[in-house]
Amino acid sequence: MAEDLPPQDSKLTATKRKWADEGKFLTGRVSRPETDRLPPGQHLVKNWPVLDLGQQPSVTTAQWKLEIRGLVHNPQTLDWAAFQALPQTEMRSDIHCVTTWSRYDNDWKGVSTHDLLDLVDPTEDAYSVMLTSYDGYTTNLLLSDFAASDAIIVTAWEGKPLTEEHGGPVRLVVPHLYFWKSAKWLRRIEFLNHDFAGFWEENGYHMRGDPWKEERYSED
């Protein structure tokens, strides 16, 4: 398993960098979540496409740990048993990938980010989080997005344990942002006082990623 190494380059990585350079998929159309369930430029799928950076780390529940560090009053290292002992939540939400597919009505089970925030108690200076995966992938979120009411750290999808290809045993799901923000194979959450770029954000993608505003790519 990778130890905070940058993700391996892949054909997908190079392609998505090219999309960012070209502004691919941008429509210029604006829709709002309260009036249009499907964001601009998206199309519906019934399957769940698999996208990664060329490697899928194999992490068993016996090996898995989640480190929570940075600007929190109660830093934690949770193993599988400790994570399962936290309040368990079930949610249903849509997901929207920056590669233009969306999937409606996904049923999740896991730990609400609200319950995790209650556990670690961020300091007043905490502004953002950096997520790190077992493959070395990183992505950033504003604390306000991480704390959204439907954000959840999931272990199950559609009543079954989350599979390795979809980020199991544990991944984040933040439904109101493009899905690259919902890190697979979650290993570490670090609370920060500034919003720092993660892997895709350093490679031409937007710092926030709101699908209804088509925040696919960097404004720079």
| Residue 177's CATH number | 3.90.420.10
- The DSSP secondary structure of the chain, one letter per residue, reads --SSPPPPP-HHHHHHHHHHHHTTT-------TTT-SSPTT-EE-SS-----SS------TTT-EEEEEESBSS-EEEEHHHHHHSPPEEEEEEEE-TTSEEEEEEEEEEEEHHHHHHHH-B-TT--EEEEEETTS-EEEEEHHHHT-TT-EEEEEETTEEPPGGGTTT-EEE-TTS-GGGS-SSEEEEEEESS----TTGGGTB-SS--GGGT--B---
Residue 69 lies in a domain: yes
Q: How confident is the model at residue 218, as a pLDDT?
A: 87
pLDDT in tens, 68-112: 999 999 999 999 999 999 999 999 999 999 999 999 999 999 999
Residue 218 lies in a domain: no
The domain of 134 spans 39-47+59-205
173 or 30, which is more confident: 173
pLDDT band with cut points at 50, 70 and 90 for residue 219: confident
Task: Please determine, for residue 26, whether its predicted confidence score (pLDDT) is greater than 90.
Answer: no
Mean pLDDT of 190-194: 98
Task: Please determine, for residue 220, whether its predicted confidence score (pLDDT) is greater than 50.
Answer: yes
Residue 114 lies in a domain: yes
pLDDT in tens, 137-167: 999 999 999 999 999 999 999 999 999 999 9
User: Based on the structure, what is the number of domains in the chain?
Assistant: 1
